[in-house]
Structure formats: C-alpha cells, structure tokens
Amino acid sequence: MRKYFIFIFLCIVAAAEAQQPSDLQIERNRVHLKCRHRAPHRGIRRCVEYHLTSSQIPKSFDGFRIAFVTDTHYKSRFNEKTLAVLGSMLRELQPDLILLGGDYQEGCEFVRPLLEEIMSCKPQFGASAVMGNNDFERCTDLIYNEMQATGIRMIENKVDTIAKNGEHIYIVGAHNNFRGKETTPCVANALCDSDFVLMITHTPDYAEDVDISNVDFALAGHTHGGQVTLFGFYAPVVPSHYGQRFVKGLRYTSAGVPILISKGIGTSRANVRLFAPTEIHLLTLHSK
C-alpha cells in the first residue's frame, strides 16, 4: 500500500514539474507563439524558448534572439555558483539583446558582479532594463550608475528603439508604482499600431491595470511562480492583486495581450523554492 501512495505522489510531482508541450503553438493578438524547453542547467532549472512570428516583425529581425532574465535577488539562493551558470547559459545562447525585469540584488555590493556577468555574453544590441520593488528599497542610485557603467539602458517609462538595417522594433519599459493598482500610462501608446512592440514590466498587474493595446508581447516577473507552491498547482502567496491569474507562464490580459510571467531565478524572504523551478527565457523573432 505504501508503494502505491509513493507512486501516486511521484505522479503528482511529475505532473507539476512537467514541461509545457514541446510544440505548443498559439495565435493571438497578431503574434504566433511556439514554445520549447531547452535542457536544464545545474542551478537554473529551465530555459524556456518562445518563437514569436508576426507580420509586425521587420524582415531584418527574422531570427533575432532576446534573452529575458528577472528576479535574480543576488545573493539569495541564487549565489556565486549559480551566477556563473547564468553567465555560461547566456554565452551559450548568444542573444542579440538582453531584457532585465528587476529585483536584481539583496545587497548593494552584489550589483556590479551581477551585471558584469550578465553582460559577459556581449549582446550585439546590449541590454534594456526596468527596476523592481527591491531595487527601490535600497541601492537605487547605485543600480542606475552601475547599469550605465556596464552599458545597460534603463528604460522605465521610455521607448528603446532597436535599429537594424534601417528597420526597427521597440522595447518599452513600464514604471511600476508598487502601491496597489498601477496607473502610470504606457509609453507604447505613442507608437504606431503597425510597430512591433515588446514591453518589460516588473509586475504582471501593470499589463492588466493599464492600457497596453499597442504592445504585441509583454514580459514580467515579480511572482517567482509563487516560490513555494503545492505541487506547482497552487501558490498560497502571490504578490499580485489578481491572485493565481498571473502567477506564472503565458497568460493573456482582458484585452488579449499575451504576457509571459517568468518564475525568475532568485528567492525573496524565505531562501527556498518548492515546485517553482528557476528559469530564464529566450525569445526568437520571426518575420511573417
């Protein structure tokens, strides 16, 4: 009987840890999505790869690779060894552009080594970033200065124009107020409907609270996938006023805009993760 219960338990664990289908394909809001998982690395469990196909993507950006890294909380459970793994993964992936989603540090002295390791892959189009709630609690000015020193563009409430062969895509950064409902207007509203626009926001709530109708695809973090969950199915604590709705993975706003919520890498408060595996993301753009 005990073996039977152990078998059932292992099946539940396997279901909770199961990867998304290797050929997941979704068409919505002008973007066709295809999801695959790369082999895990020790210390960072997943690199989730999305292929985005859209007629809005210029021909020059066909095959353009974007890495998304968020919620490192360095040092936490994400420590020196895991930082070296992250650097190795990024050098292996060779992204053209890196996007950073905030909550970088658990101490001011850790900011420079973190950013230097992230940028060690030398992306051709550099990196763009927004701030997380942790980053406004301490080290705020230092983070801004270190990003500038390491060539990372801070794009909160700004439009970052990525130009290639005379064509452009746009990265917009949200400025989160972290005080309940988000109210800062999205700068993407000033862009043309025909532009291809990616948005970084630390909190997924921003994508629901604010009009982001000109955004084609949004990226967020903050939730850590719940960090501690019941077999991956339910997170007792989610830092979102939408509860389980935006806890992890690919979701859609009420207006139909796809938003990818990363579980991130580090830990906050308790230095533990349970059925909320660490991950980074790789987006590959394809012109339709």
pLDDT 10s digits, 144-203: 999 999 999 999 999 999 999 999 999 999 999 988 899 999 999 999 999 999 999 999
Does residue 15 form part of some domain? no
Under 8 Å CB-to-CB from 106, ≥6 apart: which residues? 73, 74, 75, 76, 134, 266
205 backbone φψ class: left, alpha, beta (φ>0; ψ -120 to 50): alpha
Q: What is the maximal distance between C-alpha atoms in the chain? A: 68
Quick: pLDDT tens for 269-287. 888 999 999 999 999 999 9
Does residue 130 form part of some domain? yes
pTM flag (> 0.85): yes
- Residue 13 pLDDT exceeds 50: no
Does residue 1 form part of some domain? no
CATH number at residue 230: 3.60.21.10
Does residue 171 form part of some domain? yes
Does residue 7 form part of some domain? no
Does residue 151 form part of some domain? yes
CA distances from 209 to 21, 56, 154 (A): 30, 25, 22
Does residue 267 form part of some domain? yes
What's the structural domain count of the chain?
A: 1
| Domain hosting residue 99, numbered range | 22-287
Please give the pLDDT value at position 2.
58
Does residue 6 form part of some domain? no
